[in-house]
Structure 1
Amino acid sequence: MAGAYLIGILVMAVSMYVQWRLKRKFEEYSQVGLSVGLSGKEIAEKMLRQSGIYDVRVLSVEGRLTDHYNPQDKTVNLSPDVYHGRSVSAAAVAAHECGHAVQHATAYTWLRFRSQMVPFLTISSRYMQWVILGGILLLNSTPIPLAIGVALFAATTIFSFVTLPVEYDASNRALAWIQNNGIVTQQEHGMAKDALKWAARTYLVAAIGSLATLLYYVSILMGRRD
């Protein structure tokens, strides 16, 4: 159990470092103006059109690093810095989110799998921590509540790992498109790739962190059985 604590602390430290590096990278590349002078909104609309997608809207949403694609209402949501920005960062993020729209339009397997998990996880996440807490408190009497909680948490861990190919694929689609369509120079492409690489690492660390937490709960459950 002590080992699980140490792993948890290590993952938390790595997560904080990756988040810090991500913010630094996006701040750095947001200062680099894009040679073609297009805004994130214009790049997103161009990528969607050239991908044969005409039923997805590009919207501006409040916040910072709040960019996302919503498959429910088919919208690419870009933060103000990306929507209006004409930087390497704006280009990378806008194209990445459109990468998700392309995945949706082409029925990308991993995105479909992740989407199918969302309804269940939306409901289970409301009660999961309470079930786990109650399970730990009742562990001396019965292991069943904790076992249920562990099973629910295992589903969230699976979701975290399913998210990885979705995010990496969206970045690969984005980088290929901005390069093939002359949106970036070779130097700008390297910057965009670096920015998206650090963004992807946040998902990787989150998945590893979820797995470490799951193993911790499993160790508590197995300790009771011993």
Structure 2
Amino acid sequence: MPIPERVGMIPRALLRENAYRSIRDAIVDGTLAPGERLNDGELAQWLGVSRTPVREALARLEEAGLVQTKPGRYTMVTPLDVQAARAAQSVTAAMHELAVREAVPNFSAAEIEAMRDANRRFAAALQAGDVDAAIASDDEFHGVAVTAAANSAIRSVLEQFTPMLRRLERLRFSSLSGRDSVALHERIIDLCEARDVERAALAARENWLSLDPLFDVEAPDR
């Protein structure tokens, strides 16, 4: 039978987004190490796409500070940079504070329970030493307020700056110090449930600023 012309074709926008997320995640989880040279042809082969979405993804990753490019010379994974990470931390903390401020007045019981459930899974992942699951659960925990805030600007800014911090958080969550986040999460949940907007927002900000000790660990490597 005749096959419709577009059946099985993946829209270019989806290819671009998939390439971006795949390369971003490989940088965040360390598969593509800091300082590693990137070849768009090799990346395209790995992802099973053409070079065009890969090049577009790399340009976007450069804007996010995860990739560095010298035209005609090289493209590489950005080395861990304490100054850049601190800048990303400040912006990320402010965005999560704003998300909580906008979300808490309208939080439902179901959203509070979703945060508790995400934090339980987060604690279990830390106990098991499963860093990937810990980060996924942490994303879900914070994502409740971001989604409830329904502010596209907040989501856009976090999409750009959070991955840089996630590279550092992988180290944090693999250590005992990462377990402090469980208690911080519980505090945020209790304040959200009490509709204490001001203190809940500040606690959300404190949660992201608690990464400070990790910057001191990474500084000597620069």
Work out whether the TM-score is over 0.5: no
TM-score, normalising length from structure 1?
A: 0.22
